[in-house]
Structure 1
Amino acid sequence: MNCQRKKFNLKRKFAYLNCAYMAPLLKKVEIAGIEGIKAKRQPSKISGEDFFKEAETLRVLYSDLINNSEPNRIVMIPSASYGIGNAVKNIPLQKGENVVLTKDQFPSNVYPWKSHCEKYGADLILVVPPDTENQRGRKWNESILAAISEKTKAVSLGHVHWADGTLFALKAIRKRCDEVGAAMIIDGTQSVGAYPFDIQEIKPDALIVAGYKWLMGPYTSGLAYYGPRFDQGEPIEQNWINRKNSSDFAHLVNYQDEYEEGALRYGMGQQSNFIANPMLITAIKQLRQWGVENIQNYCADLIAGPLEEVKKMGLYVEDAEARGAHLFGIKFPKDRMEHLAKALKVHRVSVSIRGEFIRISPHVYNDEKDMNKLLRALKEAL
């Protein structure tokens, strides 16, 4: 796979290694959004069927991306916290039971569980990463598995850690969840679209993904998968479009107690976004054309040489098999962080500082020149 920079409007003088912060829009995604805005000039041309057509297209396209055989298990959400909220609401808890998370994971996958546990007197277990640079990822996964017990009702975590890219052993965690009857909720916001995810293989009870990062869509767009565990649940939002027969506009005042079947009950109100949906559709089509595995391989090839240089500088990076290639952390001396911030600005490099790690998140628009800019900034800051 060759560098795809020409498909974006990124300026050559900047090294944007920060897709985990926010993806740049593809040129064709930008055009799709503009066309959506133009379509809103003539609302008389928007039919009742149009409220559902693009949503169905998204379900099918996204299902192909994650190997999901049931498109009606996919719904549109405005944010990761919304998607997590639907799952949290339908996990019964009692005093003495617990929910297992990883420490320092993204707040949208913490606050809903924290509130839920406090309400019912359950315990929130935050599994701390090991204080070591020797097989850190493996040991962290072992600690997660050890934390899951007969009292665990849910395990909720990312596929990769949002700050340092640590890869979590989802198949092993799924197996342990099955042994104790716990739900497994995955926040795939920092992986799906750039790191292969297979619903059939992982079998999560829910997969929540905000769309403006690795799905390369607009802000306030996202997609969620809900498995059979949630088929009879209650959504956090009581809107018109997730009720039975909602497509019959002429009889919407014949109020329905029943929701749409299965996962469709969890869809957001105003999911028929005539601007954002075409943008996300266009983005996912491009991801399918590139191939998620090819994206991951491109990133792995791009960073291989530079990371050897990083290690020669005495900086820590997790071993390749224990992290993603699209998102990884470089541990940097705390007393040199201010120097690093200045060097990054001088060399026009965009990355994120997350805790004690510099979070690097390349994509197919990056090339060797971008990585060289990063290396120069790191060397200058040490």
Structure 2
Amino acid sequence: MPHAAVMPRSRLPRVGTTIFTVMSRMAHEAGAVNLSQGYPDFNAEPFLFDRVSHWMHAGMNQYPPMAGMPALREAIAAKVSHLYGAEYDPETEVTVTAGATQALFTAVAALVHPGDEVVVLEPVYDSYVPAIELQGGIPVRVSLAAPHYRPDWTALRAAITPRTRMIMINTPHNPTGAVWTEDDLRALAQLVDGTDIVVVSDEVYEHIVFDGARHESCGRHSDLAARSIIVSSFGKTYHITGWKVGYVLAPAELMVEFRKVHQFNVFTVNTPVQLALADYMERAERHLGLAAFYQAKRDYFREALGASKFDLLPCGGTYFQLASYAALSDEPDTSFVEWLTRTVGVAAIPVSAFHHDGRDAHVVRFCFAKDEATLAAACERLCAL
């Protein structure tokens, strides 16, 4: 007779399988065009892959330094200095991570103690709150209002208490595509001035900002840089999301604490890939040209859906487009995306998945980081509704 299964007491009792996994699986089962999960369906240029092979064959296949290969940390620091005028010491203030999600989790694990409050802006990317709760922290949610999803500084100020340890921000913002302005960063600086609040700034779409706007990194603002852990992602920048390589910038005092956790939850990151990325970064146009590249895709997607019944919300950055389907259905967004996937043949993400209470405004998220043929096939089906 088999033994009874052990039933552990879950540390995340309200968490199931991430919506991105659910929708991608559904898209595969239905043979649908997958505009749900946020990854490109095209490759980086062959030079990047050639450099990985080069370093593998050159014997660079053992553990790199815990904080990352010096060549890559130096390239990151040089890029940030050029773009934002921010000087980070590659030795003590730059760490290479196993993707942005690991970086975000590690930042929370390093700095949030049981009972600490962490302010998040909702709709919120789905990894933030579980990371907070696993450390015994208390998520404090502040809503971003459609259609522009701008931060409400009165509400944010009201959310700050003596127990606030951290504020997590994301610009350009997933899922909404909203981009913070210089005034927003100034308001944030005023909000945290005189406190010991740490800002975790998720800037993985830093190079995907449209219509001539400028990405306002916390690194660009010295008063914020002094208290911020900034997270970015090579996967988003170079179309290699499956490689899971990102990085963190932080002043040395914060980075000491970050690395204490980093060394035990991942230790270090793939050596030949790090060296290949350092080589690839030598040509700045590879990241500087990303905004125009994705703006062309955004504009194509929006124009192709112009004849549809979807109401397209503003998109100032990222490679996501929000759309209201109120003119098509009054079904909950979770039911609508299942119908859209299984019957129409296009997969999307329900925006209610980014709200703790399942708030449903009949809005879905499409990913336009796809080849034109993929986007054309999806738009033809969506316009036929």
What runs of 5+ residues in structure 1 fail to find an aligned partner?
Answer: 1-13, 240-265
Which aligned pairs between 1:243-258 and structure 2 lie closer than 5 A?
Answer: none
Instruction: Find out whether 1:212 has 2:235 as its counterpart.
Output: yes
Q: Aligned match of 2:290 in 290, 295, 298? A: 295
Bigger drift between 109-118 and 230-239 goes to 230-239
Deviation at 1:184, TM superposition (A): 0.6
Deviation, structure 1 residue 230? 0.9
* Alpha-carbon distance, 1:180 to partner: 3.9
Q: SS of the counterpart of 1:214?
A: helix
Identity of aligned residues (%): 11
**Who is 2:271 aligned against?**
274
Distance 1:21 1:129 in 2: 25
Counterparts of 1:44-59 in structure 2, within 5 Å, are: 55-59=69-73
Q: Does 1:125 align with 2:140?
A: yes
After superposition, the Cα gap between the structure-2 partners of 1:197 and 1:129, relative to the gap in structure 1 and judged at 3 Å, is closer
2-structure distance, mates of 1:158, 1:374 = 28
Q: Which residue in 1 is equivalent to 2:369? A: 362
Aligned to 1:233: 257
Q: Which runs of 5+ in 2 are unaligned?
A: 1-31, 210-214, 352-362
The alpha-carbon deviation at position 75 of structure 1 amounts to 0.8
Instruction: Work out whether residues 85 and 112 of structure 1, in 8 Å CA contact, stay in contact via their aligned partners in 2.
Output: yes
Separation in structure 1 between the aligned mates of residue 231 and residue 207 of structure 2, nearest angstrom: 12
The alignment partner of 1:208 has SS state of: strand
Give secondary structure in 2 for the equivalent of 1:212.
helix
Q: Name the CA shift for 1:214/1:238 in 2 (closer, same or farther; >3 Å).
A: closer
Aligned to 1:108: 127
1:11-160 paired onto structure 2 within 5 Å: 20-21=38-39, 24-26=42-44, 27-40=46-59, 55-67=69-81, 68-72=86-90, 73-91=93-111, 93=113, 95=115, 98-118=117-137, 123-130=138-145, 132-133=146-147, 136-138=148-150, 143-160=155-172
How far residue 53 of structure 1 moved from its aligned partner, in angstroms, is 12
Distance 2:120 2:251 in 1: 20
Q: Distance in 2 between matches of 1:15 and 1:187?
A: 28
Counterpart of 2:364, as a letter, is: F
Partner of 2:176: 164
CA RMSD of aligned residues (A): 3.9
What SS class does the counterpart of residue 224 from structure 1 fall into? strand
Figure out how many residues of one structure are paired with residues of the other and give that number. Answer: 316
Counterparts of 2:192 and 2:349, CA distance in 1: 33
